[in-house]
């Protein structure tokens, strides 16, 4: 490890057992920086996304955090809304969820989209699985790099790595990269990139025809042990701000009250709305309990033999 200590029990991708009735899995980690650390290096060591690490640690200099700074590792997650099957890619969160047939889930950070290739929310499937894939550069890429052949065979010049999943969408490929966050997604040629080791795991657990949902959910709400949790991520536009090390722009949150009412149901009066609004402003991407304790049941008055 690079830092003086790292406590990240769930930083390395692994399948998680989902507790019945709970939308929450994982556990927050902590990392103490060494003098030569950057947030990019910490993200790579702990298999996290760059943007999610920056968002979870506001006010920390991404390139000069300094020694002995304790960082929060965002390794606690709420499951996204919707059908829990196949693969789900949440664009604002920059995270992929894969629901396994045995009921477990595994999750990986991704670089999903760049200025050239931006996947849009929608439903698709895995059209083809390729081991040692060849790469066909687009005309735009070859115009910038005329030295590239029409087809780039497997090898060090091929950005797709050892494994690729072709989606049933033109030009949309899920693939591995040794350092997918090193240029913060600006030069990817497959739209959706994972760490090399994570891609090997995803590839092994995927099959042709598997459902893939691309979603846009910066706000997630879910229950665990009878308590309601809220997890708010930067929007895609705010993620661009953070990836460029700029101040995150303010965005309005239309429809939040409706989402909250649907998630809370009959427990809506238990919600700490002040805390919820604070989380909406901060957008740290960390699940926080927003429900207050249930009030104790009112004692029933017992009428005695000779009156109350």
pLDDT tens track for 91-111: 999 999 999 999 999 999 999
The residues with which 152 forms a beta bridge, in sequence order, are 135
* Whole-angstrom distance, CA of residue 207 vs CA of residue 125: 10
Q: Answer yes or no: do 146 and 246 share one domain.
A: no
pLDDT of residue 295: 79
Q: Answer yes or no: do 263 and 224 share one domain.
A: yes
Closest among 194, 204, 211 to 160, alpha carbons compared = 194
The 10 Å Cβ neighbour count of residue 107 is: 23
pLDDT of residue 38: 96
The residues with which 215 forms a beta bridge, in sequence order, are 90
Instruction: Please state, in angstroms and as integers, the Cα–Cα distance from residue 165 to each residue in 130, 205, 271, following that order.
Output: 6, 11, 42
Residue 24's SS3 state is: strand
Number of domains composing the chain:
2
The pLDDT tens digits for 228-269 are: 999 999 998 888 888 777 788 888 888 999 999 999 999 999
* Whole-angstrom distance, CA of residue 292 vs CA of residue 308: 34
Q: Answer yes or no: do 187 and 107 share one domain.
A: yes
Q: Answer yes or no: do 93 and 182 share one domain.
A: yes
Tokens read off for 44 = 């790579």
Q: Which range of residues forms the domain containing residue 165?
A: 82-216
Average pLDDT along the chain, 308 residues, taken 10 residues at a time: 46 77 95 97 96 95 95 98 96 96 96 73 96 87 85 87 93 88 56 93 98 97 98 90 79 91 97 97 97 81 58
* Pairing state between β 86-90 and 211-215: parallel
Closest among 121, 196, 120 to 158, alpha carbons compared = 196
């Amino acid at each position: 490890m690079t830092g003086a200590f790292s406590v990240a029990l769930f930083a390395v991708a692994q399948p998680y057992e989902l507790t019945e009735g709970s939308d929450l899995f994982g556990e927050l980690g902590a990392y103490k920086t060494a003098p030569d650390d950057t947030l990019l290096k910490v993200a790579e060591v702990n298999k996290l996304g760059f943007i999610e690490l920056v968002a979870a640690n506001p006010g920390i200099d991404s390139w000069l955090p300094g020694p002995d700074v304790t960082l929060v590792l965002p390794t606690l997650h709420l499951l996204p809304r919707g059908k829990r099957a196949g693969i789900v890619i949440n664009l604002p969160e920059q995270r992929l969820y894969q629901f396994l047939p045995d009921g477990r889930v595994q999750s990986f950070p991704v670089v999903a989209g760049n200025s050239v290739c931006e996947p849009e929310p929608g439903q698709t499937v895995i059209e083809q699985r390729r081991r040692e894939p060849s790469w066909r550069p687009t005309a735009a890429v070859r115009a910038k790099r005329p030295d590239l052949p029409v087809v780039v065979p497997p090898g060090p010049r091929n950005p797709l790595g050892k494994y690729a999943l072709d989606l049933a969408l033109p030009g949309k490929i899920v693939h591995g990269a040794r350092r997918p966050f090193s240029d913060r997604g600006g030069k990817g040629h497959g739209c959706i990139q994972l760490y090399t080791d994570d891609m090997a795991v995803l590839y092994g657990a995927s099959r042709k025809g598997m459902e893939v949902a691309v979603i846009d959910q910066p706000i997630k709400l879910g229950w665990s042990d009878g308590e309601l949790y809220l997890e708010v991520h930067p929007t895609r536009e705010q993620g661009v701000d953070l990836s460029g090390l700029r101040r995150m722009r303010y965005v309005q949150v239309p429809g939040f009250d409706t989402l909250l009412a649907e998630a809370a149901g009959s427990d809506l009066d238990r919600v700490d709305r002040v805390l919820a609004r604070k989380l909406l402003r901060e957008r740290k991407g960390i699940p926080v309990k927003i429900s207050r304790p249930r009030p104790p049941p009112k004692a029933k008055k017992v009428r005695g033999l000779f009156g109350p």
